[in-house]
Every structure is written in structure tokens, then in C-alpha cells.
Amino acid sequence: MPRLATVNRERAVTVVEEIIFSGTPSQVVNLPAYLKGVVGAIIVFAAFLYAATRWPVPWYALLIALVVIAASVVLAYLRTPARKSSSTPRELPAVRAFSAGGSRALSSSASRM
């Protein structure tokens, strides 16, 4: 079912939905999890150093915190399926917009914006 979008307030434009992603995702989608793990490890290590200067903190407290952070990163890695290698990269189709007047009407209305 097509969706309607407005380019300007005078005419409606039909937006054709297409597939914008096909196949299994790569590990790039896990970049936020990796960055969160690195930042979390830095914060835990800094907190341990600060606490160790003031109170007797056992060394295994740092180890337990870092193992939990590493486990969350490994879990994010394992939840993403392995990407199948292909010999040629595929271009992903974009979402195209059509109006009742054709592509000429769309380009003329877009140039007025």
C-alpha cells in the first residue's frame, strides 16, 4: 500500500517503498555496543583507581566489573549473524517519489523549496 507524503502544500506525492537492506548485517551494527564497552571499562577502571586510593578495594572487584562488560560486548557480537561474503557488492535501491505530474513536476516543485 503506497504512503502519501507532501513535497509542498499544493500536491501530494506517492512514495514507493522498496527494500533498503538485503542480507545479513555486518558487525558494524554493533559499533555502539563496542564503544559502550570501551567507555564503560574506562569509567570502571577510573572509579577503581579512585576508590583504591581512599579505601581498601579488592582487586577482584575490578575483574568482575570488566568481565561483565566484556560479556555484554561478546553477547552483542554473537547475536549478529555472520555476513555471507559476496564477490560483488550490491547497491541498495533508494526510496523513489512519484507525483501525478511525473518526475518533471516533482523536480520543479523541489526547486521552488
pLDDT digits (tens, 9 = 90+) for 10-23: 666 666 566 565 66
Say yes or no: 18 and 44 in one domain: no
Determine if the pTM surpasses 0.75. Answer: no
Judgement on whether residues 34 and 64 belong to the same structural domain of the protein: yes
Q: What percent of the chain has pLDDT over 70?
A: 50
Domain of residue 111 covers 1-22+90-113
Cell triple for residue 96? 523513489
Q: Looking only at Cα atoms, what is the longest distance across the chain?
A: 76
Q: Is 101 a residue whose pLDDT tops 80? A: no
Whether residues 57 and 100 fall in one domain: no
Answer yes or no: do 36 and 72 share one domain: yes
Number of domains in the chain: 2
Both 75 and 94 in one domain: the answer is: no
For 14-49, write each residue's pLDDT tens digit: 665 665 656 667 777 888 999 999 999 999 999 999
Return d(Cα 64, Cα 3) in angstroms, integer: 51
65, 110: one domain? no
